[in-house]
Chains A and B, each alone.
Chain A
Amino acid sequence: MNLDLIADITTAILVSFGCFLGIIGGLGMHRLGDFYSRLHAVGITDTLCSFLILSGLAFQAGLTLVTVKLILVFLFLFFTSPTASFSLANNAWNWGLKPENLPVELAESYEGDDS
């Protein structure tokens, strides 16, 4: 009984914090200026947000095969999402999309390096 209560409270804290981070990530999709900055907002929802929600659910499941499946979901997300992000960014780069809002001195030095 007591143990159940502790597990419930842990789940509540983890899941609500995870959802909060998820909404921040969603807001970031709109607040950040250009495509390359938005990659970081997706980074939030892919890592800590999903970790918090899935581990919160794992506290509900206890030590069963369900927890193993939750861990597998997390591992798949954890390995595929940086790869997907990288190939997206790399495609955009090869396409010729330039980052915006760079500081002036850095943008100049970058132009110099590129040529």
Chain B
Amino acid sequence: MADNLILRVMSKALIPVIILFALYVQFHGDYSPGGGFQAGVIFSSAILLYVMVFGLDAAAKVLPDKALIFTASFGVLLYAGTGVVSLFLGGQYLNYSLLANTAMAGQHIGIIVIELGVGLTVASVMLLIFFTFARRTRVE
């Protein structure tokens, strides 16, 4: 589909906007609907558009499988790590209030880090699943 002129030009303009929108949803989880999970899915839909217009091989160069596996596990680690840090600070698992001087600031930092972990994991696992299936059904 890369020879489809109109689709190519329009997706060049749209992909950065979709990625920025995904990050907006990621960081505004506490003000408007959204959060890590939704952001991850939106981000992967931007990559999906890229795959459909420019092909699977170009996308594999942009996001190699190794990097995706790394970010998937890093997201889980971030999530669990935050819990363990609060455990070491003398609270319960995932008790954000102890992460900073005041309980409010601690809650804020905790939720942002947790959402970041969720977003990273969801985006990379989604893309890994998609890449795996897309390679399997390719017509030679």
Contacts and interface: CB of A to CB of B under 8 A. Distances in A.
Asked whether any CB of A lies within 8 Å of a CB of B in the complex, the reply is yes
Chain B facing A: main interface SS: helix
Nearest to A86: B6
Chain B interface size range: under 10
Contacts of B67: none
Contacts, number: 15
A87 B13 contact: no
A79 B6 CA distance: 11
A86 B17 CA distance: 21
A64 interface: no
Contacts of A87: 4, 6-7
A86 B13 CA distance: 17
Interface of A: 76, 79-80, 83, 86-87, 90
15 contacts: A76-B17, A79-B10, A79-B13, A79-B14, A80-B10, A80-B14, A83-B6, A83-B7, A83-B10, A86-B6, A86-B7, A87-B4, A87-B6, A87-B7, A90-B4
Interface of B: 4, 6-7, 10, 13-14, 17
